[in-house]
Amino acid sequence: MNVWFYTFGCKVNQYETELLKQNFERRGHSFTDEIESAKACIINTCTVTAQSDMKLRQLIRRIRRENPDAVIALCGCHPQAHGADSEAVRDADVAVGTENKQRLPELVESFVENRCKSVEITPLQKEYPELETLIHGSSKTRGIIKIQDGCDRFCSYCIIPYARGRSRSKPLDAIASEAKILVEAGHKEIVAVGINLSDYGKGTDKTVADAAEAILQSGAIRVRLGSLEPEEMTEQVIDRLAKLHGLCPHFHLALQSGCDKTLLQMRRKYTAERYRELVDYLRLRFPDCAITTDIMIGFPGETEADFNESLEFVKSISFADAHIFPYSPRKGTPAAARADQIPEAVKAKRARIMAQAVENSRDSYLRSLIGKVLQVIFEREKSPDFHQGHSEGYQLVNVKRFTDTLFRQVHNVRIISSENGSLFGEIVQR
């Protein structure tokens, strides 16, 4: 049967959708990009924010409208966190959580045969899931490997530990073999992702540096780390990473707030000053590296003074870019029960102010790269005028089109200008 997939959320979910596709493919099913021609519609869900839940419900309604006979199957964080009583789960035909996604093809086939609704949400496991390995690459530029799952932090605003369980890590030999598959499929860059990536190896003598080294030993030209939490990043780990030739000097180090009072109430295990120390050390060991981050706006109780403290801290760090988002109450978390919620209009205003500060620092960082030579891996042709790809620091680089395609080719590019958040340059000889 024809199967249509939709993925909400992070790169971990994108990776797990690829696993789902290969499991359906093993059972003889084909894929479609059109809802109307699908026999089954698979939605890999996210529940980080209330907006993601709303978009999920909207998508279910759209599928029912455009293809009333299609099987709708949900999997992932939303069913795991909210259970069978969730509106989205009630409206679906099949639902599983994060632990038993491998059961989805069988359950969908069963529904097609007997039209009997199925909801299977099993308890979260303590060990890394077995049989969770890609057997082939994708058509994308970068390959993704999930090396870690779960989180033990239990920040006061976050529902993810309830949706993903405790921290656990993929064995190094499994990482190495999977990376080899992706490299043989043509991927030049491998992205290592996890729910709390910097927690890799917890309970052992291994760290995320060991995982990155295993990926590079597979023959990958570059390895990029996904989002990192400051708590587990140390100078010792950074020193190990600095020894790896091929590690992308791009570090997405989650901040959330630059106000110590807010960080404490969030149950984040670091101060703004400690965060600054880590950034300074990263820049010492990786000159010109790109530091990007996440910034939450409007956490309960955030006063104007708290926001301004965070704003000034963000300005002082000079981020290469940042994901700015308003706080979203998640039922069952301590922050959602607080009475001092911030009005949406106030969140929106503060978000605009923070976004302008980050845009200024981003533009300044891009200008600092003018005249430098960056290694660029080019992507599928989307622009009629430019070849486009991303540098080691994950800046979008444009080169004037001169041939049919440079897809997956690696070239050194001298940067000559920056405009509208991206760079422009010309290919140079090695």
SS (H, E, C) 115-127: CCCEEECCCCCCC
- 250, 394 Cβ separation under 8 angstroms: yes
Compute the Cα dihedral for 3, 194, 218, 141 and give only its sign: positive
Instruction: Place 100 in a pLDDT band, splitting at 50, 70 and 90.
Output: confident
Identify the pLDDT of residue 153. 92
Instruction: Label residues 365-404 b or e (16+ Cβ within 10 Å = b).
Output: bbeebeeeebbbbbbeeeeeebbbbbbbbbbbbbbeeeee
The radius of gyration of the chain from alpha carbons, rounded to an integer in Å, stands at 22
Q: Rounded to an integer, what is the distance from CA 322 to the centroid of its chain?
A: 13
pLDDT value at position 131? 47
Look at the block and give the residue holding tokens 């020894």. 243
Kindly report the number of other CB atoms within 10 A of residue 238's CB atom: 17
User: Residue 139 has what pLDDT?
Assistant: 78
Q: How many CA atoms, within 13 angstroms, populate the side-chain half-sphere of residue 27?
A: 17
pLDDT for residue 429 is more than 90: no
What's the average model confidence in pLDDT over 39-59? 96
Tens digits of per-residue pLDDT, 255-302? Answer: 999 999 999 999 999 999 999 999 999 999 999 999 999 999 999 999
* Residue in 1, 159, 4, 15 with CA at minimum distance from that of residue 79: 159
Q: What contacts 175, CB < 8 A, 6 or more positions away?
A: 145, 147, 192, 211, 214, 215
Of the chain, the percentage scoring pLDDT greater than 90 comes to 93
- Please compute the mean of the pLDDT values over residues 67-81 and round it to a whole number: 97
CA distances from 109 to 18, 19, 65, 83, 242 (A): 19, 17, 22, 22, 49
How far from chain centre, in Å, is Cα 358?
A: 20
**Alpha-carbon distance 327 to 335, whole Å?**
10
- In the predicted model, is pLDDT for residue 329 greater than 80? yes
**C-alpha distance from residue 427 to each of 29, 187, 402, 409, 430 (Å):** 43, 21, 11, 12, 9
Structural contact between residues 127 and 96, judged by C-beta atoms closer than 8 angstroms: no
pLDDT digits (tens, 9 = 90+) for 45-54: 999 999 999 9
Taking the C-alpha atoms of residue 288 and residue 201, their distance in angstroms, rounded to an integer, is 28
Which DSSP symbol is given to 49? S
Amino acid 132: pLDDT: 63
Cβ contact 321:366 at 8 Å: no
Find the angle CA(116)-CA(29)-CA(44) to the nearest 5 degrees: 65
Give all domains of the chain, ordered by start, each with its CATH number: 2-120 (3.40.50.12160), 142-368 (3.80.30.20), 373-428 (2.40.50.140)
- CA distance linking residue 300 with residue 232, whole number of Å: 26
User: What's the chain's length in residues?
Assistant: 430
On the question of pLDDT at 127 being above 80, the answer is no
Mean pLDDT over each residue of the chain, to the nearest integer? 95
Buried b (16+ CB within 10 A) or exposed e, 263-283: bebbebebebeebeebbebbe
Q: How far apart are CA 132 and CA 135, in angstroms?
A: 10
User: What pLDDT, in 10s, does the model give residues 174-222?
Assistant: 999 999 999 999 999 999 999 999 999 999 999 999 999 999 999 999 9
Q: pLDDT category, 124, cuts 50, 70, 90?
A: confident
Q: Return the residue matching tokens 């106000």.
A: 259
What DSSP state is assigned to residue 298?
Answer: -
In angstroms, how far is the first alpha carbon of the chain from the final one? 49
